Structure 1
Amino acid sequence: MTTIIRRDRPRPAVAAALPLTLLLVAAGGATAEESCRASVGPSRAAALVARCVAVSPATRPPCNASNPCALIEEEIARGCDDLDEEAPDFCLAYRHR
């Protein structure tokens, strides 16, 4: 079976990073290269990874707490956009309008 990844829609990097941006500002900020686990803590990072795994169509998605949270959230947003009506409820926070 061949997996085709559609690239016909712009990736909502800014919209995808908004929830994390608000969290980082409240926490005192973090660098873009810092691991998600280090920047938001293991519990929040695990929740992001679980969401990422649930919606990512990639065979090797960046759903790993060692990656920056912004990268994980971009993948969540991409996966949520691809799922359209079948998307989980949490996708509402990652949809760009």
Structure 2
Amino acid sequence: MAQIRSKKDAELFLERFEELSAWDETGGKRYFVFADRERGGIWTLMRYEDGAFTVHGKGETYCDEGETPLSAQEAIAFVWKHRSAVNRAAGEAA
């Protein structure tokens, strides 16, 4: 997958989420993990079989309470905001 350099690229990343994400059999979802550079931990972006996206963050000093649901537009904005860390993780996964 090409680097995310525009919001359209962020949208394409989400459309092709299965190509770079792992499968969680127990949770029935795909997931992609990348650095949370703001808080010094990791983000996990998840997509369920019905297409719904959620996000969860955790680190040594914090753990979000549960998953936060994201609309399609919120998911695009989230990937765009964190594109540098997403690009790095996607490059390592390729």
TM (norm. structure 2) is 0.31
When you count helix as a share of all residues, which structure comes out higher?
A: 1
When you count strand as a share of all residues, which structure comes out higher?
A: 2
**Structure with bigger RCO (C-alpha 8 Å, 6+ apart):** 1
